[in-house]
């Protein structure tokens, strides 16, 4: 223990000296500082080189930034209601947030991942996990809208998700909290041996992106923390870090930190997929929601699925192995070649790197070091490729550049450390502000990284920006990594709590980003494709308003004959076919959000008038010079009135 302290002191001193040296450099050369500003500067009217998609964490959404400017372009609503656009409030999008627990208007979004072909980013979709009520979402990268959400049964704390295989065959989701499977009433302290962890493999239809929960592996009751796919030579395998192999059910802070080593679970998913394809696995009754948004009807539907195929890993010999990995590993990262699997032992100073080749050799040689619940454990020494003695504390996540270097975040010592794959030599270290979680290099989780910038996403902000009371946005830093040494070039606040992020070159997405929805392609059942089709139809106490908008009026804009107690559906179609001309809709006293309707789109808002009177509605988006005139009135009469239903424009 004394010796350990001594080493730590030396290391801390070294870190101090080296960081003092860096500061000295920065202070003495003003030119360096100005070149950093130039590197992050994107002149007015010019575009960023990269897109960065950051998870919103507890905002439940994805935010889209530009690199290297750090400018925020958009918040894409995914798991959370979003009054800005009406997502989760409009009749069309409410089904997106349906689950087996009913309507869940929020989630905790963690790990975005962009679709790949042959291990390279292809920019079709981005996937993200909902951690709290386990869900996986697919977002289109031509409309930048959420198109699909699938709920995961038998999962809890959907954290080792949503990572995709190198040809986007599967999006994979592991459970952080093991639970009784199937759920049942039982004492909590009987966790050990009874709780299970599920690893879900959701197949992706190549053309449509449509998700299907293909199978779930029911694993021992550990916590499956993070995961990444094999690539290149290790394509076909998936790797999951675990902690709480102690299977503690209380005070995990202490009780899940007792084992010197936990495991990385290596899963040969191709073998398991074949097993399932050939009729293997057990059909289990369950319930989960599958919600799909159709770009042409502009409408989501929610279907409740009743069955899932579960796989007992011991039934598929050779498919799952445990790789002992020290100190409750958190991040589980695979280098671009697919050879190295990096386990970031979060309670350690060191990184453990496993070799895929050695793992295969050990499996073939059947050199096992016992088993856990029937799953063979490989010998640590047999699979170990090397150790990075970094001198940092609390390694969490690793990303890669295209020059054979790796970059690891250290939460406790608050820094990014650059090291060399193969030699395990530390090349550089830079402080982060403060306590960095994930980091992101565009394409850094693929066969082809774009090693120009790394973004560090921090958990603690403190004094980085002007204070805004006790609650602040998180901070992120951008480093230029094109040279030998990392150079901090920019620092910016991020919305929500970005956990992971995914980035890609701008030219992969910008040319195919949709500008409008085609009106002649609008298949919404309540759409009006020309203003003369606008109408108001009563069906009992339900009234359907088929309304159209174009600069700068609603058709119709005067409606009479609505009664207290009616349920009025405003189905609004935006007739604009011009880029960036949305119209909004809001009705006084409406118990829901506004709508923001894109050109060619139809959205529906419900209003249940409670008071007699003449009530205005208006366009909420400053659409044109006559935006202020874009308004209308609805006359609401008493429930027993005989005012006929009429509607008009310009009469």
Partner 1 sequence: MKKASILMIIGPLFLLGLYFFPLWNIMLGAPQYPEPLGMDIYIDGIKGTNEFDIQNIDGLNHYIGMRKLPKPEEMWEFSTFPIVIGVMVALGVLIGVFGFFNILTHKWFIGWFLFMSILGVLGMYDFNAWMIDYGTNLDPNAIMKLANPDGTPMSYKPPLFGHAKMLNFDVTSLPATGAWMMFIGMTLTLVAFYLGWKKEPKNKESEIKNYATT
State the residues that interact with partner 1 by CB under 8 A: 516, 550-551, 576-579, 625-626
Q: In what order do the strands lie in the sheet with 62-67?
A: 72-76, 62-67, 50-55, 501-505
Q: How far apart are CB 518 and partner 1 at their closest, in Å?
A: 9
CA proximity to 198, closest of 154, 232, 236 = 154
Does residue 386 sit in helix, strand or coil? strand
End-to-end CA gap in the chain? 88
Element housing 137 (H / E)? strand 135-140
Beta-strand (E) ranges in 533-630?
535-539, 542-550, 553-555, 558-563, 567-574, 583-587, 595-597, 602-607, 613-618
Instruction: Give the relative orientation of helices 2-28 and 30-40 as an angle to the nearest 10 degrees.
Output: 90
For partner 1, the closer CB: 426 or 516: 516
Q: How far apart are CB 628 and partner 1 at their closest, in Å?
A: 12
21 DSSP 8-state letter: H
Q: How far apart are CB 574 and partner 1 at their closest, in Å?
A: 12
CA proximity to 252, closest of 177, 163, 317 = 177
For partner 1, the closer CB: 466 or 625: 625
CA proximity to 247, closest of 154, 343, 299, 179 = 179
For partner 1, the closer CB: 427 or 516: 516
Handedness of CA 370, 243, 116, 298 (dihedral sign): positive
Q: Is 251 left (phi over 0), alpha (psi -120 to 50) or beta?
A: left
CB 110 within 8 A of CB 161: yes
- At 471, list the tokens: 């609650």
Q: Report the distance separating Cα 265 and Cα 198, nearest Å.
A: 12
On the CB side of 593, how many CA atoms lie within 13 Å of its CA? 17
For partner 1, the closer CB: 474 or 575: 575
Q: Report the distance separating Cα 457 and Cα 321, nearest Å.
A: 32
Angle (CA) 219-326-132 rounded to 5° is: 45
Q: How far apart are CB 577 and partner 1 at their closest, in Å?
A: 4
Q: Report the distance separating Cα 494 and Cα 129, nearest Å.
A: 19
Q: How far apart are CB 629 and partner 1 at their closest, in Å?
A: 9
22 DSSP 8-state letter: H
Please, which residues have CB within 8 angstroms of residue 589's CB and are 6 or more apart in sequence? 609, 610, 611, 615
Q: How far is CA 284 from each of CA 243, 426, 427, 508, rounded to the nearest angstrom?
A: 27, 49, 51, 41
Q: How far apart are CB 625 and partner 1 at their closest, in Å?
A: 7
190 DSSP 8-state letter: G
Q: How far apart are CB 550 and partner 1 at their closest, in Å?
A: 7
For partner 1, the closer CB: 455 or 527: 527
For partner 1, the closer CB: 299 or 555: 555
For partner 1, the closer CB: 455 or 598: 598
Give residue 3's Cα distance to chain centre: 43
Give residue 635's Cα distance to chain centre: 45
Q: How far apart are CB 624 and partner 1 at their closest, in Å?
A: 8
Number of Cβ within a 10 Å radius of residue 372:
15
Q: How far apart are CB 155 and partner 1 at their closest, in Å?
A: 45
C-alpha Rg value of the chain to the nearest Å: 27
- At 492, list the tokens: 């910016």
For partner 1, the closer CB: 252 or 577: 577
Q: How far apart are CB 572 and partner 1 at their closest, in Å?
A: 18
Burial class (CB in 10 A: 0-12, 13-18, 19+), 185: exposed
Q: How far apart are CB 544 and partner 1 at their closest, in Å?
A: 27
109 DSSP 8-state letter: B
For partner 1, the closer CB: 129 or 574: 574
Burial class (CB in 10 A: 0-12, 13-18, 19+), 170: buried
Q: How far apart are CB 519 and partner 1 at their closest, in Å?
A: 9
Q: How far apart are CB 651 and partner 1 at their closest, in Å?
A: 15
CA proximity to 63, closest of 508, 455, 420 = 455
For partner 1, the closer CB: 132 or 577: 577
For partner 1, the closer CB: 4 or 579: 579
Q: In what order do the strands lie in the sheet with 595-597?
A: 595-597, 583-587, 613-618, 631-637, 558-563, 646-648
For partner 1, the closer CB: 361 or 626: 626
Q: Report the distance separating Cα 235 and Cα 364, nearest Å.
A: 18
For partner 1, the closer CB: 413 or 602: 602
For partner 1, the closer CB: 144 or 517: 517
Q: How far apart are CB 53 and partner 1 at their closest, in Å?
A: 25
For partner 1, the closer CB: 397 or 575: 575
For partner 1, the closer CB: 71 or 610: 71
For partner 1, the closer CB: 448 or 627: 627
Q: How far apart are CB 71 and partner 1 at their closest, in Å?
A: 18
Q: How far apart are CB 473 and partner 1 at their closest, in Å?
A: 31
Q: How far apart are CB 510 and partner 1 at their closest, in Å?
A: 13
């Amino acid at each position: 223990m004394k010796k350990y302290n001594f080493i730590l002191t030396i290391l801390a001193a070294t870190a101090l000296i080296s960081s003092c040296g860096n500061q000295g450099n920065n202070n003495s050369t003003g030119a360096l500082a100005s070149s950093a500003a130039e590197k992050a500067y994107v002149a007015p009217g010019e575009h960023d080189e990269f897109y960065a998609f950051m998870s919103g964490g507890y905002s439940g959404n994805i935010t889209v930034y530009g690199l290297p400017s750090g400018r925020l372009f958009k918040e894409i609503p995914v798991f959370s209601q979003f009054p800005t656009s009406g997502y989760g409030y409009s009749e069309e999008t409410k089904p997106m947030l349906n689950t087996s627990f009913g309507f869940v208007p929020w989630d905790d979004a963690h790990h975005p991942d962009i679709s790949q072909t042959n291990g390279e980013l292809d920019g079709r979709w981005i996937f993200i996990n909902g951690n709290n009520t386990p869900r996986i979402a697919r977002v289109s990268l031509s409309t930048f809208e959420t198109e699909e959400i699938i709920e995961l049964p038998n999962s809890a704390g959907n954290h080792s998700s949503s990572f995709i295989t190198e040809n986007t065959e599967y999006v994979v989701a592991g459970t952080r909290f093991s639970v009784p499977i199937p759920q049942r009433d039982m004492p909590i302290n009987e966790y050990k041996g009874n709780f299970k962890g599920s690893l879900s493999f959701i197949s992706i239809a190549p053309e449509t992106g449509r998700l299907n929960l293909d199978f779930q592996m029911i694993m021992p009751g550990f916590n499956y923390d993070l995961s990444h796919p094999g690539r290149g030579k290790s394509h076909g395998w998936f790797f999951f870090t675990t902690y709480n192999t102690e299977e503690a059910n209380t005070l995990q802070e202490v009780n899940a930190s007792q084992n010197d080593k936990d495991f990385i679970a290596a899963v040969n998913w191709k073998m398991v997929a074949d097993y399932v394809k050939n009729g293997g696995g057990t059909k289990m009754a369950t319930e989960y929601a599958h919600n799909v948004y159709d770009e042409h009807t502009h409408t989501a539907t929610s279907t409740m699925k009743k069955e899932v195929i579960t796989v007992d890993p011991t039934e598929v010999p050779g498919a799952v192995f445990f790789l002992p990995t020290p100190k409750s590993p958190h991040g589980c990262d695979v280098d671009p070649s697919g050879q190295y699997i990096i386990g970031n032992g979060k309670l350690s100073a060191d990184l453990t790197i496993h070799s895929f080749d050695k793992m295969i050799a050990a499996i073939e040689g059947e050199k096992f070091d016992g088993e856990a619940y029937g799953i063979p454990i490989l010998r640590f020494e047999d699979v170990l490729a090397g150790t990075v003695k970094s001198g940092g504390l609390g390694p969490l996540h690793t990303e890669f550049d295209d020059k054979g270097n790796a970059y690891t975040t250290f939460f406790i010592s608050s820094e990014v450390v650059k090291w060399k794959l193969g030699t395990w030599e530390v090349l550089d270290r830079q402080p982060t502000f403060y306590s960095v979680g994930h980091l992101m290099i565009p394409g850094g989780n693929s066969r082809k990284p774009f090693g120009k910038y790394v973004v560090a996403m921090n958990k603690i902000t403190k004094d980085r920006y002007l204070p805004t009371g006790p609650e602040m946005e998180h901070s992120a830093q951008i480093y230029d990594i094109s040279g030998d040494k990392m150079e901090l070039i920019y620092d910016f606040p991020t919305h929500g709590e970005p956990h992971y992020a995914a980035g890609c070159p701008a030219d992969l997405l910008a040319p195919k980003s949709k500008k409008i929805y085609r009106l002649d392609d609008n298949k919404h059942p309540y759409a009006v494709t020309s203003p003369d089709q606008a109408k108001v139809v009563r069906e009992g106490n339900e009234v359907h308003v088929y309304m159209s908008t174009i600069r700068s009026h609603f058709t119709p804009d005067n409606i009479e004959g609505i009664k207290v107690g009616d349920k009025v559906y405003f189905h609004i179609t935006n007739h604009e076919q011009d880029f960036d001309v949305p119209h909004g809709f809001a009705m006084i006293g409406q118990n829901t959000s506004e709508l923001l309707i894109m050109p060619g789109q139809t959205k529906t808002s419900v209003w249940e008038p409670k008071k007699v009177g003449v009530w205005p509605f208006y366009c909420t988006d400053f659409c044109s010079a006559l935006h202020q005139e874009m308004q209308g009135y609805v006359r609401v009469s008493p429930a027993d009135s005989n005012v006929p239903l009429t509607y008009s424009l310009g009469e």
